[in-house]
Structure 1
Amino acid sequence: MKKVLVTGISGYVGLHAAAELLKNGYSVRGSVRNLSKTVELTKAIQKEIEPNGNLEYCELNLLNDEGWKEAMQGCDYVLHIASPYVAAEPKDENELIKPAIEGTQRALTFAKNAGVKRVVLTSSIVAMFGDANKSLNIKQDTWTNPNAKNMSAYVKSKTLAEKSAWNFIETQKGDNKLELVVINPGPIWGPTLSDKLSGESMNIVKNMITGKMPMLAKVATNMSDVRDIASIHVKALENKEANGQRFVVATENPYSFKEMAQILKANGNDKVSTFEGPNFLLKFMSKFNSDLKGMKPFIGNTYNADVSNTMQVFNWTPISFEKSILDTVQSVKQKLKN
């Protein structure tokens, strides 16, 4: 049985990816920052599949080398999903950028040293936004300019971490060449396996259905379902054609937050606001609101990514955006009851 190291297994994507690996006959070693939480993680994965002894854990930190060598031992592949994420703009951008880059470099370095064949890296569509401050048609070779005006720390962290990964691959020495595939999701929706509503997607939906989001930002991009992301991560491990490519895993068309709100409202969520705030007002408010500050470059724009290559290479069709959103709200309501 082939073994896969999953960094960041406790996260929204990490839990789904671990379950998908187990369903497809892989053995999983998941990294966490603290081993005390592993019992609840196993229970979360058991909602999808019984691990049957094929799930273990290790403790890793993106900012130091301790445990990385041991974590890689016996692993055939790595899903490097762990990366810091906060929607609000931090006071120091290096709070996000440093661990994102260093964690990526550690994952690649120790994987190569251990003889791992391939790493699948979780990046983001925000690493493909050009100068971000204008609408854009995104292709596989589109990159975000981290020095563009109003660029948020999170966008910089994802862009610079992915760039550092490709640089590692291009400059590696020796005959034992590590392979890399990068997954670039859009905003992620779909049911959570965790018992918590701590993720950004869950919070947005919770605030929308409880009427705590009176105003929406006018921005549209391709949206992703967590189940699609997990599925493509697993398919990317051994797909020969995937090596050396970036894949947008998202809907074929961009959707706005207003369209999302309309779906929620049409399905009985009466407290949802469909009002789009004026661009100038939201940009002005971003000076005082750390959540909005991170959104500032995107307000008023549409980012439309070509997902045809992903669909072709993996023989895949995205889950519909409506299903993603309705399954998310069902998951949120279930957690609010508990």
Structure 2
Amino acid sequence: MMKKVLVTGISGYVGLHTAAELLKKGYSVRGSVRNLSKTAQLTKAIQNEVEPNGNLEFCELNLLNNDGWKEAMQGCDYVLHIASPYVTTEPKDENELIKPAIEGTQRALRFAKKAGVKRVVLTSSLVAMFEDANKSINITEDTWTNTNAKNMTAYVKSKTLAEKSAWDFIKEQKGENRLELVVINPGGIWGPTLSNKIAGESMNIVKDMITGKMPMLAKAAMNMSDVRDVALIHVKALENEKANGRRFVVASEKPYSFKEMAKILKSNGNKKVSTLEGPNSLLKFMSRFNSDLKAMKPFIGNTYHADVSQTMEVFDWKPISFEKSILDTAACVKQLMNNN
């Protein structure tokens, strides 16, 4: 019998790719959206990759209230909790991000457990593993970001606290039939979108680079992820026995900087791309006035190196090359710019 997976946040960059991957692998998908009016265009986006053949349905959920969660879980074997509040600019009140991130995660786990779901796969982030985001470090599945460090941003805090709250929930379970948890921690995510619009931070960065609107780059490097890899490992994590109770970095084997990214774009015919790195002190000063830079402030001048060997071994997987990710992102951005 076909297994059913609830995918929260199906309309997002990662959500759409993950839904398509699930359908390709023979799962039935129920996707949550904040508003059911979008479902026709979401179905169309997924059809560009795979024909759902009646195995795709939608439900309406909100991270901040209980309405519909019980019904959404009914008949589901697994849950992929991908939905999370995301803003590129730093909000005036950090709780705009932190509250829905934690409450949404707790709801997904609580209702999954009540419904007898076997396993939840949670989308976290490499930024939850940075120890002190202000320093260059080596990251493993045991490292956690210190949310009290200086320059801590609301987004980093929200991802870290939401993931910690998930592990606390799993630890505090009592009785039989315990819910299983696997956490996926991607780095910066690149790659083509399945939707027909330029959405998300990474696509906008590439757009600004290739149109010459980014004259100066931040000095920062981390392991980078391809959205297709992130989707694939979410699906592989559903039934892999060795994955239960663990966190997995899904990213390139080495860190890449924005300068390396700019060089890839420039050497492949994107003449307007600047490869100039801004001085750390200037960028940190500018972050006081620029909300995009403010969110980047802890990372400026640092290199974060994450170990992906465990992920490669457990899932028998090799990351898509960073060059391919970036060039595919640029090709997708150009196509969407021409279409709109």
Common fold by TM > 0.5? yes
Instruction: Report the identity percentage.
Output: 83
1:301-312 alignment, distance < 5 Å: 301-312=302-313
> What residue in structure 2 maps to residue 285 of structure 1?
286
Q: What is the one-letter code of the residue matched to 1:184?
A: N
Q: What is the one-letter code of the residue matched to 1:281?
A: L
The range that moved more, 253-262 or 189-198, is: 189-198
> What residue in structure 2 maps to residue 330 of structure 1?
331
Specify the SS of the correspondent of 1:158: helix
What RMSD in Å do the two structures reach over aligned CA positions? 0.4
The range that moved more, 76-85 or 190-199, is: 190-199
Tell me if 1:164 matches 2:165.
Answer: yes
Q: What is the one-letter code of the residue matched to 1:335?
A: L
Distance 2:28 2:186 in 1: 25
Distance 1:61 1:38 in 2: 16
1:146-161 alignment, distance < 5 Å: 146-161=147-162
Deviation (angstroms), 1:198: 2.3
> What residue in structure 1 maps to residue 250 of structure 2?
249
- 1:23-52 alpha-carbon deviations (Å, 9 max, x no partner): 000000000000000000000000100000
Q: What is the one-letter code of the residue matched to 1:15?
A: L
- 1:78-119 alpha-carbon deviations (Å, 9 max, x no partner): 000000111110000000000000000000000000000000
Deviation (angstroms), 1:174: 1.9
Specify the SS of the correspondent of 1:311: helix
Tell me if 1:129 matches 2:145.
Answer: no
Paired residues, number = 338
Specify the SS of the correspondent of 2:39: helix
> What residue in structure 1 maps to residue 174 of structure 2?
173
Deviation (angstroms), 1:123: 0.1
- 1:96-145 alpha-carbon deviations (Å, 9 max, x no partner): 00000000000000000000000000000000011111100001100000
Q: What is the one-letter code of the residue matched to 2:41?
A: E
> What residue in structure 1 maps to residue 269 of structure 2?
268
> What residue in structure 2 maps to residue 197 of structure 1?
198
User: Is contact 2:214-2:274 (8 Å) kept?
Assistant: yes
> What residue in structure 2 maps to residue 233 of structure 1?
234
Specify the SS of the correspondent of 1:197: coil
Distance 1:173 1:330 in 2: 50
Distance 2:40 2:256 in 1: 37
> What residue in structure 1 maps to residue 109 of structure 2?
108
Distance 1:327 1:99 in 2: 32
Q: What is the one-letter code of the residue matched to 1:137?
A: N
> What residue in structure 2 maps to residue 224 of structure 1?
225
Distance 1:56 1:184 in 2: 27
Q: What is the one-letter code of the residue matched to 2:17?
A: H
> What residue in structure 2 maps to residue 145 of structure 1?
146
Distance 2:311 2:154 in 1: 28
Distance 2:134 2:242 in 1: 33
Q: What is the one-letter code of the residue matched to 2:76?
A: C
- 1:167-214 alpha-carbon deviations (Å, 9 max, x no partner): 000001121200000000000000100111121111110000000000
User: Is contact 2:226-2:325 (8 Å) kept?
Assistant: yes
Specify the SS of the correspondent of 1:319: coil
> What residue in structure 2 maps to residue 119 of structure 1?
120
Deviation (angstroms), 1:303: 0.1
Distance 1:264 1:134 in 2: 28
> What residue in structure 2 maps to residue 84 of structure 1?
85
The range that moved more, 196-205 or 24-33, is: 196-205
- 1:203-243 alpha-carbon deviations (Å, 9 max, x no partner): 11000000000000000000000000000000000000000
Distance 1:173 1:212 in 2: 54
> What residue in structure 2 maps to residue 7 of structure 1?
8
> What residue in structure 1 maps to residue 320 of structure 2?
319
Q: What is the one-letter code of the residue matched to 1:130?
A: E
Specify the SS of the correspondent of 2:207: helix
Distance 1:205 1:39 in 2: 28
Q: Which runs of 5+ in 1 are unaligned?
A: none
Specify the SS of the correspondent of 1:110: helix
User: Is contact 2:13-2:199 (8 Å) kept?
Assistant: no
Would you identify which runs of 4 or more consecutive aligned residues in structure 1 move more than 4 Å?
Answer: none
Q: What is the one-letter code of the residue matched to 2:61?
A: L
> What residue in structure 2 maps to residue 20 of structure 1?
21
Distance 1:176 1:225 in 2: 34
Distance 1:61 1:204 in 2: 28
Distance 1:200 1:299 in 2: 17
Q: What is the one-letter code of the residue matched to 2:134?
A: N
